[in-house]
Structure 1
Amino acid sequence: MTTARPRPTSRDVARAAGVSQATVSLVLGGKWHGRVSPGTAETVRAAARDLGYRPNLTARSLRLGRTRTALLVVPALTNEFFARVYAGAARVAAEHDAGVVLYPSPEGTGPARDPFESARSALDGVIASSMAADALGALHDGGLPLVMLDSNPKAPSAAATVNLDLADGMRQTAGHLLGLGHRRITHLSAGVDSWTFDVRARALDAALSGVPDVAAERVAADELSVAGGVRAAGRALSAAPAPTALVCDDDLLAAGACKAARRLGLRVPEDVSVTGFDDLALATAVEPELTTVRLPAEEVGAAGMRALVSVLDGRAARTTTLPVTLVVRGSTARPGG
């Protein structure tokens, strides 16, 4: 008969790390900054991992009157980008012994209903995408701290924002296409009224506006999907003169643009270059593979969770802007080449 090993305690962690139980409590409670050295904090965390130690969250919640549970509001998990945002938030939450409750909007990119009207007391804070911002009124009115993702940094209601450098992503895209010699460039924009897509449009307009001989157009997709990209690109490529490059607001639209080009008897990139935004798995599933702007989605969720933990622990939350990278693949080339 095998005897079950006793569950390790904070005293066991303290003994293994060579520190006091108070230090263990500070480190594992996320309150060690400025009170414990980074080296000691890592020693404590390593000892806890080695021992398989997990704090008694129920007891701590009763003691502190808080559950350390965040509500993550995103448009829809059918979009790979937001699934990766959740993965990043959940990873950091686990490191700080916090929890994440996920609420995707049932209407996709539209407003979501307040999902916890009768259980708001079970939440300590909210992390939300700007594309689901309309879901937040009731929750924020209840006094919960709010961290916004991909949102206007001047939003007065947010304790912090975590943004991607979307404008730089569009500047990199424009620079790449201009460097290849493209001068007839059409922007396939997402048909979504959102800060994130407004930033992309303004940045692309600014990057192209001062370049001689550039003919820039914009065609709005009727939905943010491959099918929406097919329809929008079909309209753009049927214009005279047709664009030599399509700049798409995301990879779904870009995949649709490639499909529309083939249906019209055009080759990508020989007849028309196509760029995307996000660098989803789809970007390397199509042929040719997409030139696209890589967005660090997991780090967006991770940074959002770190900011919320800072607020819950009484520390100032930092507003963060994460860099993005243009990944050049086979869907772009010199015009006519």
Structure 2
Amino acid sequence: MPPSSTRPTSRDVAHAAGVSQAAVSLVLGDKWRGRVSETTAERVRRAARELGYRPNLAARNLRLGRTRTVLLVVPALTTEFFAGVYTGAARVAAEHGFGVVLYPSPEGIGPARPSPTTPEGRPSRAAPIPDPFASAQAALDGVIASSMAADALTAIRGDQLPLVMLDSDPEGSLGAATVNLDIAGGMRQVADHLLGLGHRRVLHLAADIPSWTFDVRARELAARLAAVPGTSLRTARAPLSIDGALTATEAALTAPGPRPTAVVCDDDKLAAGAYKALRRLGLRIPHDVSVTGVDDLGLATAIDPELTTVRLDAELFGERGMRALLAVLEGRRPQGGDIPVDLVVRGSTAPPAAP
């Protein structure tokens, strides 16, 4: 055995196992089947364990032309949903020897911006704003990106790398693969729940973000309600923030005409803003107005009454995204089918009050 201060090499393993270095490479690279015997493979593995041998991943990656690094582009880190997506993706990546670099791209804006200038147009003394992904193609093996951050891909040339899109139209996706939650099914569950309770006047508090996932929510809600005679649907758009939702909800509920008996929110954060607006107007939840959300964030059970919402499994979403990218990198077909979602019924919904 080599001295304890010296890291064991493949040559040491080969010597201990009585085989060639080529055989060690085949066994430890899991490419030995049909080329060396099971007995020889086990002898090599045992020698590697006893020596404490660890392959030089940096050298291996250099030979393969890979960095084993993946970029995950998300709209923001201010919501726990995308933190969950990262957690799921990083877990699967680690199992396969990959690392995940997380890049938040608020509102889909890419990182590349011009150097600052003075009012006269001369270069400013302030430090220029660097583009952290100017060499993305050389530094990354692939990209996973949310549709809400898709515009950033051009800025970092991520659309020219192996790419998996999350929450994106599979018909027009930029990526080699698309992974989606069954968000349409989730919105149908919301509509059916409210219709079953007897609601016929609905306000859709829609996220004011141009994105496929929010377009699907609006389309499915409208289609489901239109199928039931006597229903009406109004839409109010709001920034994806509590204050924005408060202002939009308050304006919609004080507008002329019959007041909606239910507010369907595109996101739990919007629902929290709707709660504040309803209370400002002296309306009770769910006695006067029912409220629903989407995501099932921790916020959903922190507000009172607890929120009826569509549970989206963010970690599973990230896992599936990473597995899809690994499949693309290996030339395999990724797993198909949308990830199921569930409506969690809590205290924020009830039958509408009698006229």
Q: TM-score range by the shorter chain?
A: 0.7 to 0.9
**TM-score (ref. length: structure 2):** 0.80
Partner of 1:65: 65
Task: Return closer, same or farther for 1:138/1:220 CA change in 2, 3 Å cut-off.
Answer: closer
Cα offset, 1:137, TM superposition: 1.8
Q: After the TM superposition, which residues 54-93 of structure 1 pair with which residues of structure 2 at under 5 Å, given as runs?
A: 55-93=55-93
Cα offset, 1:336, TM superposition: 1.2
Secondary structure in structure 2 of the residue aligned to 1:26: coil
Secondary structure in structure 1 of the residue aligned to 2:77: coil
Contact 1:127/1:308 (8 A) holds in 2 = yes
Secondary structure in structure 2 of the residue aligned to 1:100: strand
Partner of 1:118: 135
Partner of 1:25: 29
1:231 maps onto 2:247 in alignment: yes
Task: Return closer, same or farther for 1:248/1:174 CA change in 2, 3 Å cut-off.
Answer: same
State the AA in 2 paired with 1:189: A
Contact 2:159/2:175 (8 A) holds in 1 = no
Partner of 1:35: none
Task: Return closer, same or farther for 1:55/1:224 CA change in 2, 3 Å cut-off.
Answer: farther
Cα offset, 1:199, TM superposition: 0.5
Partner of 2:326: 309
Structure 1 residues not aligned, in runs of 5+: 33-47
Q: After the TM superposition, which residues 135-284 of structure 1 pair with which residues of structure 2 at under 5 Å, given as runs?
A: 135-140=152-157, 143-221=160-238, 223-239=239-255, 240-284=257-301
* Superposed CA offset, 1:244-297 (max 9, x none): 000000000001111111111110001100000000110011010000000111
Partner of 1:289: 306
Partner of 2:316: 299
Cα offset, 1:110, TM superposition: 3.1
Task: Return closer, same or farther for 1:198/1:127 CA change in 2, 3 Å cut-off.
Answer: same
Partner of 2:121: none
Task: Return closer, same or farther for 1:94/1:263 CA change in 2, 3 Å cut-off.
Answer: same
Cα offset, 1:111, TM superposition: 1.9
Partner of 2:107: 109
**TM-score (ref. length: structure 1):** 0.84
Q: Which has the larger radius of gyration?
A: 2
State the AA in 1 paired with 2:226: S
Contact 1:269/1:332 (8 A) holds in 2 = yes
* Superposed CA offset, 1:300-337 (max 9, x none): 11111111111222223344411110000000001118
1: distance between equivalents of 2:100 and 2:313?
A: 20
State the AA in 1 paired with 2:334: A
State the AA in 2 paired with 1:135: A
Identity of aligned residues (%): 64
Secondary structure in structure 1 of the residue aligned to 2:315: helix
Cα offset, 1:183, TM superposition: 0.6
* Superposed CA offset, 1:108-132 (max 9, x none): 2232225411353011111000000
The alignment yields a C-alpha RMSD, in angstroms, of: 3.0
Secondary structure in structure 2 of the residue aligned to 1:274: strand
Runs of 4+ deviating beyond 4 Å = 3-12, 51-55, 138-142
Cα offset, 1:210, TM superposition: 1.3
Secondary structure in structure 2 of the residue aligned to 1:188: strand
2: distance between equivalents of 1:245 and 1:142?
A: 41
Which shifted more, 231-240 or 284-293?
231-240
1: distance between equivalents of 2:268 and 2:303?
A: 10
Structure 2 residues not aligned, in runs of 5+: 18-23, 34-47, 113-131
Secondary structure in structure 2 of the residue aligned to 1:235: helix
Task: Return closer, same or farther for 1:25/1:218 CA change in 2, 3 Å cut-off.
Answer: same
Contact 1:127/1:147 (8 A) holds in 2 = yes
